[in-house]
Amino acid sequence: MARFPEDADKDRRFDVNLSILFTELPLLERPAAAAAAGFTAVELWWPWIETPTPARGELDGLRKALEDAGTRLVGLNFYAGRLPGPDRGALSVPGEESDRFRANVEVAAEFAGSVGCAALNALYGNRIPGADPARQDELALENLALAARAADRVGAVLLIEALNRPESPDYPLVSASAAVEVADRVNSATGLGNAKFLLDLYHLSMNGEDLPEVIDRYAGRTGHVQIADNPGRGAPGTGDLELAGLLDRLREAGYDGWIGLEYKPGDRPSADAFDWLPRPLRAAH
């Protein structure tokens, strides 16, 4: 497996997504496992897929696990239904799911603010048979504006993510331009300017986008980056993407934010899935 050079830019800030890595462990043990692997920052999908409003004790337990491990939560998804699973978000889904999203907005934002998390990701939601796409988009804008205002109150940005069509055929945002267009609409609706693009190199590569062009065009609009190799959604070096070069290009284009490791560990323990990244480069400086 290709390794990042030891003399690579030590200011590059990596975090581990604890909803796809270390999932062989209970949730509250994952921050300590990431810390033992050398990381000081983590991110999460909404951890409680059955409820948008977990009990206070659940939230307090996760907060304590992060603090005890010495890990910083740098990214958190709003409630998005069943992930991993068939759902791809809730906020544009009429009825119960959008209601659950709205119930989650203040809970997620308050938790993010309590741990210093400055990025909240709102997955758009699938197209639903029988629902008017235009009405779904209106509902999405209403709920994204609500989320943007909640994020702003805790000093966070709202992230808008493009997924990929092969794996998420009913998700409408399957290009960088589509996600950025939604972020623009949210910013216009709120006047806050805190809606940003979540640039996921794996999803965009699955869509066949020109990744260097996307980086050059949208680095200044990007609030967070996630990576996995393609094909396979594995660790860097398991596929064909030149991720080291793409991250260098992001840096040159002015992006200096977090880079989330959102890949599958394969048939090995998650702790063994970081041999591509020298240990001195794992902790944020």
**Residues identified as active-site:** 161, 262
- Gap between the Cα atoms of 12 and 251, Å rounded: 8
The answer to whether the CB of 94 falls within 8 A of the CB of 139 is: yes
Cβ-count burial 182-218 (b if 16+ within 10 Å, e if not): bbebbbeebeeebbbbbbbbbbbbbbebebeebbeeb
Give the residue from 156, 162, 157, 97 showing the smallest Cα distance to 123. 162
Give the residue from 265, 282, 283, 280 showing the smallest Cα distance to 25. 265
Give the residue from 176, 45, 49 showing the smallest Cα distance to 120. 45
